[in-house]
């Protein structure tokens, strides 16, 4: 199973865009960011001291419904904390993030958006980076399923999701804070604790705390940490963009 595939700036007209494909969950998201832009006719809703963040999620096969409003709310709260909406040029303006679900399982009425959420978060982060929106930290997220035997599956497939007893999405900032947690299903706090350890290892490779020296977790079992994938994608893109300069030097 390969790691996720991320492409920066696939769209020409948007200020910033990214596409993100996670092979294990099958989700494929295309996202665009326009910022800072003037939001027309919304003077009353605009906040005088910071940017208004708007998130739109477009499902692949159906018109958007209440489930999309919910996941938009989650994304707006999480990204709102990361975007520095008070930087010069941003107050009273808007940051509009549009995420289209291009592939993967469609979410039915009352269905869970959790398997898609990490891909949506990654796409939004990459698109914001591509649009050069000031961010305080970047973030990386993962989804884990726990089945009735207590086994934790990373980035479960649609089938594994239906048999899981609980689903957990955890997002960590690049500095190791837990920015977002969404868990549903039946579980105990101890189960969640194990899930947390695993998710931290997936997102950041080794455990970042404890100075005893021997707490470093096996990075190899989890593959490349997701935090690194975000970083590498941006590095690769910059390397390509500045190829002329690097070659000239």
Residues that bind another protein (CB under 8 A): 50, 66-67, 69-70, 72-74, 77-78, 80-81, 84-87, 108-112, 134, 136-137, 173, 175-189, 192-193, 196, 208-209
- For another protein, the closer of residues 3 and 56 by Cβ is 56
Determine the Cα–Cα distance for residues 199 and 12; give it in Å rounded to an integer. Answer: 34
* Nearest CB to another protein, comparing residues 42 and 69: 69
Say if strands 166-173 and 139-146 run parallel, antiparallel, or are unpaired.
Answer: antiparallel
Considering the complex, what minimum distance in angstroms separates the CB of residue 80 from another protein?
7
Between CA 194 and CA 146 the distance in angstroms is 10
Element (H, E) at 246: helix 243-248
Nearer residue to another protein within complex by CB, 6 or 164: 164
Q: How far is the CB of 148 from another protein (least distance, A)?
A: 11
Closest approach of another protein to the CB of residue 178, in Å: 5
Q: How far is the CB of 217 from another protein (least distance, A)?
A: 16
CA distance 174 to 128: 15
In this structure, are strands 52-58 and 16-22 parallel, antiparallel, or unpaired? unpaired
Closer to another protein by CB, 86 or 239: give it.
86
Which candidate, 155, 176, 175, places its Cα nearest to that of 164? 155
Query: Please, which residue, 6 or 203, has the CB nearer to another protein?
Result: 203
Whether residue 127 contacts residue 121, with contact meaning beta carbons closer than 8 Å, is answered with: no
CB of 102 to another protein, least distance (A): 22
Q: How far apart are CA 131 and CA 121, in angstroms?
A: 15
Task: Indicate the residue among 197 and 232 with the shorter CB distance to another protein.
Answer: 197
d(CA 146, CA 167): 6
Task: Give min distance, CB of 125 to another protein, in A.
Answer: 15
Rounded to 5 degrees, what are φ and ψ at 120? -65, -40
Which DSSP state fits 175? T
């Amino acid at each position: 199973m390969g790691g996720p595939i991320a492409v920066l700036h696939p769209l020409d007209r948007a200020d910033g865009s990214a596409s993100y494909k996670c092979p294990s969950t099958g989700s494929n998201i295309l996202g665009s960011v326009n910022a800072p832009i003037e939001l027309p006719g919304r003077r009353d809703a605009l906040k005088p001291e910071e940017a208004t963040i708007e998130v739109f999620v477009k499902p692949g096969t159906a018109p958007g419904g209440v489930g999309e409003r919910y996941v938009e709310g989650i994304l707006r709260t999480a990204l709102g904390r990361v975007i520095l909406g008070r930087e010069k040029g941003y107050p009273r303006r808007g940051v509009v993030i549009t995420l289209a679900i291009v592939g993967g399982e469609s979410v039915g009425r009352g269905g869970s958006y959790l398997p898609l959420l990490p891909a949506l978060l990654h796409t939004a982060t990459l698109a914001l980076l591509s649009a050069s929106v000031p961010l305080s930290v970047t973030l990386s997220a993962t989804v884990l399923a726990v089945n009735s035997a207590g086994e934790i599956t990373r980035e479960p497939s649609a089938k594994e999701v239906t048999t899981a007893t609980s689903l957990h999405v955890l997002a960590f900032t690049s500095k190791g804070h837990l920015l977002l947690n969404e868990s549903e299903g039946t579980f105990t706090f101890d189960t969640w604790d194990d899930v947390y350890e695993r998710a931290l290892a997936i997102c950041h490779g080794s455990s970042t705390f404890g100075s005893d020296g021997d707490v470093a977790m096996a990075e190899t079992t989890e593959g490349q940490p997701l935090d690194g994938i975000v970083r590498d994608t941006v590095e690769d893109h910059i390397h390509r963009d500045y190829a002329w300069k690097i070659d000239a030097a």
